[in-house]
Amino acid sequence: MLTQSAFEKQLQNLIRLSDNPTYLLAVSGGADSIVLAYLFSELRNAEIKFQIAHINYKLRGEDSDSDQKVVEDFCKKNDIKFHLYEVSENDKQPENSIQLWARELRYRFFREIQAKENLDFLVTAHHLNDQLETFIINLSKASGINGLSGIPANENNILRPLLNFSKDEIYQFAKENNIVFREDLSNKKNDYLRNKIRNEIVPKLSETNGQFLENFKKSISHLNQTKNFVHKQIEIIEKDLSVFNKEHKILSKEKLAQESDFVQFEILKKYGFKRTEEIQKIFSAENGSSFFSEDYHLTVDREGLILKLKNLSQEIDPEIILLENFDSHQDQIMIDLKSYIDENQSFNWVFDTDKLHFPLYLRKQKNGDEFYPSGFSGKKKVSKFFRDEKLSALAKEKIWVLCDTEDQILGIVPLRQDRRFEAEVNTQKTTTVQWTEEQPIL
């Protein structure tokens, strides 16, 4: 049963009220959101600070304006700061999903108000019936345990403290406390799947068992406990097959392939790979293959599945110019790459200065790159050189190509110099490019 004390207890289960957080309430004017606002207003003695936001979508003419007035009047009566967004012609409506458009619009507005007013939590009035409708929708879409465990009560700083209370309980509370609210008559129409579930399916389910909603609430609780347990086990499995370095995470492809399809999906889903077909391709792909999610770049390699944040790879400078200001008449030019790049393999290359076009620079490999590796006859594609050296995808990413200003490749740092530009015994003017490990002080 919904009471003020039951609501306060539910809110305390979600957050620590002793921290005195601040809230933005999303209020439409319907029974559930107006009751939510009323419940918060009765918490004033606990120094609860909150504001209210409302969106007038202008979709139902005078009814939309009447909804707005109910919310405004409530805020004036209770001295609550009110934020309004009125949809205008500038807010273009999509031809297909008005519901999705409206959802994106309101959450964008709510987040803007939260940031501007420095409010900790957004609070919505989703209730137990909404939870059931969402469960049925997700069930029809063959959702897994995450979808079937329903709407979270506390996620991403969004609180839903009415989730354990039914629509009937909310209406009863409104009646007992003489709360004025608006009825959205469009909810009676079966134009949308959710409305059809609400108006036709849920009543029939309730007819079969008078305790249906209460039993459903218990089932959702069981599912959430199961979900939490599964997630903890997935974390343990992932930790066992993970290797970290400073920039990347590597998952053991061999170990992960031995896990069930469910475990594979749950682990890779965290990195944005959510389609079963794509995950199957990852395990059948050749070394060097790349896959991209919204945030991650996954490379299949002999070392495993290399995961790297996209913005991390974008931070690498595509070109590094070496020694822009120098005297070309010097007999000896020295360039120590320790000042430019991180490396862990010492080398010392001596070039004939007269064969070079300055300034020199470092860049990453490009398609079609060729060079004449020292110690070999003929030329070789850089990509084939990498294969012959049996470089992992991770190792390739650390390789730099040393070039002159005419883009002639002088060497593959730190592996091989190009023999065409090597200094000979009688070379008068030389340029040395090196990376030397500092010797420890004994």
Per the annotation, binding residues are 28-33
Helix, strand or coil, per DSSP, at residue 370: strand
Cα-Cα-Cα-Cα dihedral sign, residues 390, 396, 402, 407: positive
Helix, strand or coil, per DSSP, at residue 38: helix
In 129-245, which ranges are E strands? 154-155, 158-159, 242-244
Tell me the C-alpha distance between 108 and 115, whole Å: 11
Query: What kind and span of H or E run contains 431?
Result: strand 430-435
**Which of 310, 420, 406 minimizes the C-alpha distance to 373?**
420
Q: Does a cis peptide bond (omega within 30 degrees of 0) precede residue 94?
A: no
Q: Name the phi and psi angles at 179, rounded to 5.
A: -90, 130
The 8-class DSSP code of residue 354 comes to G
Binding site listing for ATP: 28-33
The 8-class DSSP code of residue 441 comes to P
Tell me the C-alpha distance between 402 and 410, whole Å: 5
